[in-house]
């Protein structure tokens, strides 16, 4: 089979091209033959868009306008017209600007016979430009797009086959059916229905939580589709609605909250953003703990039944009662548990006190609001300053979950980033890369470690790339100040210089938390906690030498606090294993760590 994307020859049973990875379909050749047959000779139903063909239209909008003018009344878009009777717009090879083209009539858009998918490219002027296709609440998608590259945002309701969507696919207020295509990323909201068959999604699918007056969404992934993500992007991230995965692969973690989530004969692989929990899974091949699922609170959801074309069925029974009181109690319990986790951390007395002050301020304002009193609008953005290994990332994660449990942010999302995640290789690309990270953290917390690396050191040349990232962050801090929190972390002196050089950052992050170095006693307690966790005991004579070691080591320039304590402990385990396994009879002590196991070389 010849790949329409790159032209490579593939074996008949291949699902994806061995050269470019693009989905393959027998329909590709069938569609090309069909188009060729229908476009031979004059045809009132066919319009060409071309830069060189005589009599062709120069733009898609002009061809659509001509179709409208030639019909006495607009078709209803209810699906009563067969494909052979629908007007067709055929694109000769080339790149066509379709910025903000709106299509409200049934039509087929396709590339000229014999064209590769990359030969015909529809583009928008910038990231906001889009091809809009709506079906006005008809039963079926109104337009069909085949065999081309869509380098723009596709919005609305359509059937898409054998296409490469290099920007975004957005399903809302209608149905989007996509087959044998590659999609960069997809989003569903407000009643959007997205059905993927034999597709590849490169950078995840996001399903938005329905608003107060919005309809729920439905995502269906079928027939060998592959949904990819990244280390910071879920393959599928859904809140509300329904998600169905059948005979497909999801390879970078799935987050589904308040979702009817069902799967059949599908493979789910672990991602970096792993969540525990038990979703609704039927006949799964693999199941990893990267799932997190809540059934929807719908008092009238007694039975949900799905029936597929191949005869498979799924039935799910309820009801699932809505209990706001129980949810509030659950969040309160979560807050208490999180504060318990913070208090259980060794050391960090000043940080714990500062976090508790923040929590008290939040609850104080919430109680004033409940009594109808005016409240103070305060920023919850923070600077975490301290040396390496002082617990900044650990506390940030707990703090992020606390903000969610107290309702400060709407989503329990915590995204970690650094300069490498925000800055691109070329000017102009950094803003896009930074926006992608911000979008991943929308509604939650974005934690930027070593944030000072975005700015130029004193006396050096300006860092245009870092400045671009900072400017993008500043705008996001202003735009999303009511539903997103930013935490910037780094060494104390470096963060001070960073704020002094960036007044915009300083004015938007009013709270500074200082993470003190651990004392020798605290570092020894960290070793004890590691040993207890792993089933070891420390020999009694080990305490004083270890504390003395930490008191001296802490004065070194690159001492890593808890990180150095962990490294020392792990070396002790290795030494213990070598020492015991080299014994003649192999029956030594496998639980006690002795002083000789710790490499206390200063």
Highest mean pLDDT: which range of 217-231, 279-293, 511-525: 511-525
Bridge partners of 102, per DSSP, are 132
Task: Compute the distance between CA of residue 100 and CA of residue 105 in angstroms, rounded to an integer.
Answer: 15
CB distance 103 to 88 below 8 Å: no
82: cis peptide before it, omega within 30°?
no
pLDDT tens readout for residues 530-586: 999 889 999 999 999 999 999 999 888 889 899 999 999 999 999 988 888 877 666
**How far is CA 543 from each of CA 480, 495, 546, 547, rounded to the nearest angstrom?**
49, 35, 5, 6
Confidence of residue 295 (pLDDT cuts 50, 70, 90): very low
* Stretch 142-168: mean pLDDT: 86
Helix (H, G, I), strand (E, B) or coil at 155: strand
pLDDT tens readout for residues 233-285: 678 888 878 888 888 888 777 777 777 777 777 777 655 444 332 343 333 33
How much of the chain exceeds pLDDT 70, in percent? 76
pLDDT tens readout for residues 70-118: 875 444 444 445 556 788 999 999 998 888 788 888 889 999 888 888 8
Q: How deeply is 9 buried, as exposed, middle or buried, from its count of CB atoms within 10 A (0-12, 13-18, 19+)?
A: exposed
Task: Compute the distance between CA of residue 92 and CA of residue 90 in angstroms, rounded to an integer.
Answer: 7
* Stretch 495-518: mean pLDDT: 89
Does position 209 have pLDDT exceeding 60, yes or no?
yes
In this prediction the pTM is 0.49
For the residues of 552-585, what is the DSSP string, one character each?
Answer: HHTTSTT--THHHHHHHHHHHHHHHHHHHHTSSS
């Amino acid at each position: 089979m010849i790949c329409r994307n790159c032209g490579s020859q593939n074996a008949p049973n291949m699902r994806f091209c061995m050269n470019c990875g693009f989905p393959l379909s027998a329909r590709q050749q069938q569609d090309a033959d069909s188009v060729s047959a229908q476009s031979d000779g004059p045809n009132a139903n066919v319009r060409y868009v071309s830069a060189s063909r005589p009599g062709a239209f120069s733009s898609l909008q002009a061809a659509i306008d001509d179709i409208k003018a030639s019909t006495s009344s607009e078709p209803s878009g209810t699906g009563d017209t067969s494909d052979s009777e629908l007007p067709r717009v055929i694109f000769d090879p080339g790149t066509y600007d379709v910025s903000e083209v709106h299509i409200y009539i049934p039509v087929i858009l396709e590339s000229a016979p014999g064209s590769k998918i990359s030969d015909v490219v529809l583009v928008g002027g910038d990231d906001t430009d889009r091809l809009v296709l709506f079906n006005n609440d008809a039963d079926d998608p109104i337009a069909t797009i085949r065999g081309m590259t869509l380098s723009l945002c596709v919005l609305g309701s359509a059937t898409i086959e054998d296409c490469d969507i290099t920007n975004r696919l957005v399903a809302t207020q209608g149905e989007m059916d996509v087959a044998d295509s590659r999609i960069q990323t997809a989003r569903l909201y407000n009643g959007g229905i997205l059905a993927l068959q034999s597709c590849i999604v490169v950078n995840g699918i996001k399903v938005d939580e329905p608003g107060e007056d919005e309809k729920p969404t439905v995502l269906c992934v079928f027939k060998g589709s592959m949904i990819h993500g990244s280390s910071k992007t879920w393959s599928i991230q859904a809140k509300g609605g329904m998600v169905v995965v059948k005979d497909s692969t999801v390879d970078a973690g799935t987050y589904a909250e308040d979702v009817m989530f069902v799967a059949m004969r599908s493979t789910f692989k672990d991602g970096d953003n792993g969540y525990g929990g038990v979703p609704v899974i039927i006949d799964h091949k693999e199941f990893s703990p990267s799932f997190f699922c809540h059934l929807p609170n719908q008092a009238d959801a007694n039975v949900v039944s799905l029936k597929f074309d191949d005869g498979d069925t799924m039935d799910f029974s309820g009801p699932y009662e809505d209990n706001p009181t129980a949810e509030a109690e659950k969040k309160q319990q979560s807050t208490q548990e999180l504060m318990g986790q913070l208090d259980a951390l060794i050391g960090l007395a000043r940080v714990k006190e500062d976090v508790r002050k923040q929590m008290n301020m939040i609850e104080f304002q919430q109680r004033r609001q409940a009594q109808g009193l005016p409240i103070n609008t305060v920023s919850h953005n923070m600077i975490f300053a301290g040396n390496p290994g002082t617990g900044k990332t650990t506390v940030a994660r707990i703090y992020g979950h606390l903000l969610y449990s107290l309702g400060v942010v709407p989503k329990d999302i915590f995204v970690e980033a650094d300069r490498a995640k925000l800055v691109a290789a070329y000017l102009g690309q950094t803003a896009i890369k930074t926006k992608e990270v911000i979008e991943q953290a929308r509604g939650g917390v974005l934690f930027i470690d070593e944030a000072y690396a975005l700015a130029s050191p004193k006396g050096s040349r300006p860092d245009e790339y870092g400045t671009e990232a900072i400017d993008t962050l500043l705008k996001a801090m202003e735009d999303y100040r009511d539903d997103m929190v930013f935490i910037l972390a780094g060494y104390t002196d470096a963060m001070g210089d960073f704020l002094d050089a960036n007044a915009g950052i300083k004015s938007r992050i009013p709270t500074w938390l200082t993470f003190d170095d651990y004392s020798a006693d605290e570092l020894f307690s960290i070793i004890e906690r590691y040993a207890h966790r792993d089933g070891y005991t420390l020999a009694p004579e080990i305490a004083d030498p270890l504390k003395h070691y930490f008191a001296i080591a802490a004065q070194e320039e690159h001492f890593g606090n808890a990180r150095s304590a962990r490294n020392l402990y792990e070396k002790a385990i290795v030494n213990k294993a070598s020492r015991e396994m080299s014994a003649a009879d192999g029956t030594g002590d496998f639980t006690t760590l002795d002083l000789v196991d710790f490499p206390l070389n200063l």
